[in-house]
A and B are shown apart, each in its own frame.
Chain A
Amino acid sequence: MNTRKIALFSLLISFGSVLYIIETFIPFPAPIPGGRWGFSNMTILLALQFCDYKDIIFFSILKNSIGSLLTGKFATVGYLMGISGLVAASVFMLFLYRRKNKFGLISISITGAALNNFIQLLIASSLIVKNSNVLVLYPYYLIIGSISAVANAFIVVFIYERTGEGIWKI
């Protein structure tokens, strides 16, 4: 952990936590409980460039914990679901990103959203509700998650073009 890495980490974590609060104000179009757009996950896409596997787990846990503390969801069932989904998704996204030039950012982002929602629903259906009917909701989550995942990928590429490669290298 050098100073540059600490600065980038805190910048992206605060950015992600603020987006986590703001996205709760955006109305969610489907009648499903606990649905969120997931715009705060664009910071994970930005963090893919300088993180290794240990860093990305640390990063996603911190982003979700601080965001949940600020929105008042800390240590609830939804927080447990969110954190396990996000850690699994971000590790898999980093795995895909490390395969150089094979996968584009849009497909990485959509895969991350799909895995995140699936792990969340799997935990909800196996540990909390104990009812496999919850998995029926998965297509709704996947369609809405894909919309915001594509938007995230475009925004990240625009940010990357404006700022240049320099500041994301450690």
Chain B
Amino acid sequence: MKLFGKFDIFLYLIIFSFLFCLFFLREAPGDVRVYVDGDLYMIVSLTENAVYEIEDFMKIEISDSRVRVTDSTCPDKLCIKAGWVDTPGIPIVCVPNKTMVMIEGKDQEIDVITQ
């Protein structure tokens, strides 16, 4: 049992080149979609910097192709703590308000996200 071997570097190279390839798999971000209670509430563009209100319980801010929740009535504020999101497919979820904010991929329609 030894910690290091002669050909370790090849394994690391394979893993890192693989990781490098995977970064190209990121697709271009599309629009921001807001779901309330499971239904599509609104679609807003990711390119314009703006602040939008969702009903009276939440505010989202879009800036530099990123989106975040700035204000919410929920008790734990987990949606605010999630911070800025710029990756398609990773949602900001607020369970007490039954709201999900997510950036869509440009090409495909996502029908369901399981968490």
Spell out A's residues near B (CB within 8 Å): 31, 33, 49, 96, 101-108, 110-111, 114, 128-129, 131-139, 142, 153-154, 156-157, 160
Contact = CB atoms under 8 A, between A and B. Distances in A.
Contacts, number: 76
A106 B8 contact: yes
B78 to A, nearest CB: 10
Contact of A129 (B7, B23, B114): B114
Q: What's the dominant secondary structure at chain B's contact region?
A: loop
A73 B19 CA distance: 30
Given A31-B82, A136-B25, A136-B87, A157 B3 contact: yes
Nearest to A165: B1
B3 A105 contact: yes
A89 to B, nearest CB: 13
Contacts of B3: 104-106, 153-154, 157
Contacts of A132: 25
B15 to A, nearest CB: 5
